[in-house]
A and B are shown apart, each in its own frame.
Chain A
Amino acid sequence: MDKLKLGGNQGSANKKKRNRRAKSSNFIENDHMKGPNFKVVDKTSESSTQASNMCSRVQNEQSKDNKLAPAEESTINPNLSESQYTLKHKKRKSKKKKSPIRTVTDKEEVSMLSADGDIQLSKKNGFGINLDSSGQASEEKIVVSGLEAIKTAKTKVYDHQTLVKAENLLKSTELADSLTGTLKSSIMSTHEALKEESWAPCTGAGKQQRLDSRASNEEGQKTKAQLKAERKAAFEAKRVAEVADKRMSDKQTQQKSKATLRAERRAVQEAQRAAKEGKHQLENVCPVASVKMQEVFLKQDHKEGMKDAEQGAEFSVSKNEKSAGVKKVHKKTSDDPRVSQQEVRKKVRLFRHLPQYHHNYLLTRNLRLAGSDLHPSIIGLGLQISQGVVRGSNARCVALLTALKEIIQDYITPPHKELSRDLEAKIRNYMNFLNQCRPVAVSMANAVKHLTRFITKMPSNINDSEAKLRLCEQIDTFIKEEIKLAKQAISQNAGENIRNHDVVLTYTCSSSVKGALCDAYDEGKNFRVVVVDARPRLDGREMLRCLVKKGIQCSYVLINAVPYIMQEVTKVMLGAHSLQANGYVMSRVGCSQIALIARAYNVPVLVCCETYKFSEHVHTDSIVYNELADPNELVTELPPNKQTLENWQDIPSLYLLNLEYDLTPPDLVAMVITDIGNLPCTSVPVVLRVKHAGSQEV
């Protein structure tokens, strides 16, 4: 229960609040004098685990509170509501402990695929979650909890926003561009809560009601009375803040405070550097954590759902970004241009034409949330994709379509504009952003192409709601028919190709192959599976886990041992990222050489691929069109006796290459298993033509 107070849920804890009220008058000043907001968090956060878990927890609460809010508001008995609350949180807590990573996607609708294993949650990139397992230095805790505090502040500022007071408040703090400033606003908002409690002329029941709504971050619909009370509270808070400021300026000048801030920042940086020396990963973790914060934050603001509030919120986001940790993170990356330059220089010569993935590069760095028309769900998706939380072309496509659906639902045609034109332009804009996060998958591009074709064909005489309804329907059908049913069809088709006593070799983790194997096993077929895996991702372990859990007899080898194992294999089954019009199969790097070895041993290679992944691209090698993953993946997370290349960036003529895809020539592939049947590779253009003709008719 205690832990939950941190994540913007101060309101839920009545006791705590009362304690605070007791020392309310000196609270701001005292803490402010101490300078670092981290201190406060240190008081409240008991361990780094809690602080880091908070990221996901807050998010989860945000989403759930929406649903919970009415129930809590209606309760009159304060004890009852509190106990209920505790119960819920306990439940959540236990859930979280089991799978902290999974919670990241818990609330997103994408997670419906996670059961299928489509979404491969990254073990390495799990945002803040990394922290609890690694139990890293306390500096980290400070940073994370610092950001936590900022976020708390932000959520509070939302509340003001709904009151159209945030701006004034921020100005009144005069320290808007510092962490301390935001801390202050967070404190003030607690204050506000207190004031509200004492000033608002309501009954006990009403108070409880409001408290509960506080607990749910005031996201439920507010009554006018509440609004009034809050406005009053905000006004009070402002006054208090002004007083505090005056007092503060008596004791120390503005400059002085800035100096201390700088010192603080330096201290944090120092601490980080020290921690970095201790632990290699730590450097990445901090920005990642903050990215996570942003993401969580964005989700929150998205979940508010109300248009007006959202606009206001976005404004407040930008305000806060200026003021708070985000800027700090920006500064950290941007005042270190050497890194990025070095990374550019460190690009393998053959692949200079491809964009290099930067682990430390903050995608939202140059993003102005206030001015930009990027929908938060797209930003969230972009970050998830770039961090590898959403991985696999099917998963990415479904996530994109879900995000687009949200966008369409929120969409309002601007005056003097046409829906078909404007929405299309917007989507193009979104795709540009996603392309920056990570080159867009063929599946995504095809899905968007399909959607935009539908949008442009939308008759101009229908009204917005009708159009939106149709578009959402279209998206749903696409997900259902082209992805889900296609997958079922493939697993059925592929399952038919597995016979008793087969030894099926498969590579890393392909959802369709996994489905096929599981289906065949369920049909009672008796076969063995060889799971081949490759560094650095080792996705095959996930595949192995699923198959072993199912009870299928498995062998597990790394890709270098494929020639050894191929003698006993009777079929090779591979997944695909895309099929190109010239019959080349684009899939995870390594597939082509497995096909090559299979050919040498005369083992048939079957490729599972949905027809919506067929592409009109034509390439003949894996170099022109590919994706560069983070080269650091090759050298991180190694046992200590193998960390030879830990400082590879310091050796000028050393390069690491981490490719994402490769192309398998059609002559190495015996058959492609698709949702429309088993085809040879060369049938791709035929399928494309038929599909195109079909869509023209529609």
Chain B
Amino acid sequence: MENVEMEKFIHTLKYGKLSGSCKIAQLALQVLENHVISSMWLTAYDLLTSLKVVGKSMIDAQPTENAVGNVVRRVLKIVRDEYASALGKHAEGDPQESLQKMFQAKGRDDNYRKELPALKEAIVDSLEELKRELETSKDNIAEKSLEHIHSDEVIMTIGQSMIVKTFLKYAACRKRLFQVIVVETPSLSGHLLAKNLAESGIETTVITDAAVFAIMSRVNKVIVGTHSIMANGGLKAISGAHTLALAAKRQSVPFIVCAPIFKLTPQYLCHYDQDAFNKFGSPQEVTGLGGGEVFGKAQIINPVFDYVPPELVTLFISNIGGNAPSYMYRLLSELYHPDDYEL
């Protein structure tokens, strides 16, 4: 039964039928939770091993979808924590042990092979908590909008991000008056966002991708969503975000990223790792139909993502608070166990 569900999820993931990493994360968590509940395991070690196998198959289905891997890591971390607390150790212990501590330590004893009857229940409870966190992360972030948007502000955003949409609408519902400038992007997802915002009464202007820098001098804040946050605080975001970030940096406009914390990935990838990092869309999105005799002889490139280096990002707003990119390494070690960085 579990396998059927997983296969279905993998299938939809593989064919790109799912959109919105929040949804994907929730579905992945559901698969993992089912695995924890229904599969046969005695020790935490068994569970960790089988979870890794399940997780790996889901990650391999769509390697660019970092949310899946992140959720797997979160679940693994929960298992480890619950095991530790069941043993009576302090669960919130520092996983990234200090150098001194590592020096003094007599080697790790936690091999997760002890059978603990109460472990399953504790893990399932924690997973429920994680599920709630995923569900409410969007609203948690949106609630912070009033702290960041002042009246009569001009905000620029790119494409269509669900989180940015709720973020802006939350502020607008609370009588904050501001303008939004939406960059349309070649897939024209910006049009969808613009329509949605305008219909809820926010003054919205759609601009082309080419006009980003021209308009940037009148923008107060750039607020964007992202696909994932890299371990160094860089972004893997929609293609065009790098330009936006560069323009914002040049004009000293704050570049704010709204992202739930499950988007934080322990990968360190950037520009020169395009093969591992990026994904390419259909050239038809660039060329449209027709013109074959010309386009047939040229190389058409349609990258999906852009890498935004951390120095261009001013602030991350996540469901656990606001952070500078330089702090991401710390969050990383709190959220994931170092042994799970590589699955």
Contact = CB atoms under 8 A, between A and B. Distances in A.
Given A600-B246, A642-B188, A653-B202, A561 B213 contact: no
Find the residue from A534, A558, A559, A645 having the highest chain B CB count within 10 A.
A558
Contact of A593 (B191, B239, B247): B247
Interface string A282-324: 0000000000000000000000000000000000000000000
Interface in B246-289: 246-247, 250, 271-272, 274, 278, 286-288
Contacts of B207: 657, 659
Contacts of A622: 213-215, 217
B63 interface: no
Interface stretch (A362-370, A541-549, A674-682): A541-549
Contacts of A557: 286, 300-302
Given A589-B208, A623-B217, A653-B198, A561 B302 contact: yes
A213 interface: no
B293 to A, nearest CB: 9
Interface stretch (B2-10, B22-30, B128-136, B178-186): B178-186
Nearest to B193: A644
B210 A534 contact: yes
B171 interface: no
B195 A560 contact: no
29 contacts: A535-B184, A544-B294, A544-B295, A548-B297, A554-B297, A555-B299, A558-B286, A560-B209, A563-B307, A564-B303, A565-B301, A589-B211, A622-B215, A622-B217, A634-B184, A634-B206, A642-B188, A645-B195, A648-B195, A651-B195, A651-B199, A652-B198, A653-B198, A653-B201, A654-B194, A654-B204, A654-B206, A659-B207, A662-B214
A634 B208 contact: yes
A567 interface: yes
A345 to B, nearest CB: 12
B191 A644 contact: yes
Interface residues of B, number: 54
A622 to B, nearest CB: 4
Given A544-B294, A556-B300, A654-B198, A645 B205 contact: no
Given A544-B294, A548-B297, A559-B209, A644 B195 contact: yes
Given A536-B208, A642-B188, A657-B206, 14 more contacts: A349-B203, A554-B298, A556-B298, A558-B286, A588-B210, A593-B247, A597-B246, A600-B246, A622-B217, A645-B206, A654-B195, A654-B205, A657-B208, A659-B211
A97 B179 CA distance: 49
A462 interface: no
Contacts of A548: 294, 297-298
B154 to A, nearest CB: 9
A591 to B, nearest CB: 8
Contacts of A652: 198
B240 interface: yes
Contacts of B169: none
A536 to B, nearest CB: 7
A596 B214 contact: no
A535 B209 contact: yes
A348 interface: yes
B81 interface: no
A656 B206 contact: yes
B226 to A, nearest CB: 15
B223 to A, nearest CB: 18
A512 interface: no
Interface string A346-378: 001110000000000000000000000000000
A593 B210 contact: yes
A147 interface: no
A562 B195 contact: no
A562 B179 CA distance: 27
Contacts of B242: 563, 597
Given A534-B208, A558-B286, A657-B206, A638 B188 contact: yes
A559 B210 contact: yes
Interface string A620-661: 011100100000001100110010110010011111111100
B309 to A, nearest CB: 9
Given A534-B210, A564-B274, A654-B204, A556 B243 contact: no
A592 interface: yes
Contacts of A560: 185-186, 209, 239-240, 243, 306
A600 B308 CA distance: 12
Instruction: Return the 8 tightest CB-CB contacts between A and B, nearest first.
Output: A590-B210, A560-B240, A654-B198, A622-B214, A593-B213, A662-B214, A563-B242, A534-B210
B16 to A, nearest CB: 16
A592 B243 CA distance: 11
B218 to A, nearest CB: 6
B202 to A, nearest CB: 6
A596 B303 CA distance: 20
A563 B272 CA distance: 12
A621 B204 contact: no
Contacts of B291: 541
B322 to A, nearest CB: 26
Given A563-B306, A592-B214, A556 B194 contact: no
B317 interface: no
A590 B299 contact: no
B217 to A, nearest CB: 5
B195 A656 contact: no
Interface string B303-322: 10011000000000000000
B7 to A, nearest CB: 29
A541 B289 CA distance: 13
A564 B278 contact: yes
A535 B217 CA distance: 21
Nearest to B213: A593
Given A548-B294, A623-B218, A535 B199 contact: no
B205 A655 contact: yes
Interface string A395-407: 0000000000000
Contacts of B274: 564, 567
B205 A656 contact: yes
A59 B186 CA distance: 39
Interface in B225-249: 239-240, 242-243, 246-247
B209 A655 contact: no
Find the residue from A545, A589, A639 having the highest chain B CB count within 10 A.
A589
Nearest to A536: B208
Interface in A163-216: none
A655 B195 contact: no
B212 interface: yes
A349 B204 CA distance: 11
B18 interface: no
Contacts of A555: 298-301
B195 A567 contact: no
Interface in A143-167: none
Contacts of B210: 534-535, 559, 588-590, 593, 659, 662
B116 interface: no
A348 to B, nearest CB: 5
Given A534-B209, A554-B299, A659-B214, A593 B243 contact: yes
A315 B120 CA distance: 96
A562 B243 CA distance: 8
Nearest to A664: B213
A692 to B, nearest CB: 30
A559 B303 CA distance: 11
A604 to B, nearest CB: 17
A557 B299 CA distance: 9
A655 B218 contact: no
A545 B240 CA distance: 25
B331 interface: no
B42 interface: no
B152 to A, nearest CB: 11
A634 B206 CA distance: 9
Contacts of B184: 535, 634
A457 B202 CA distance: 57
B250 A596 contact: yes
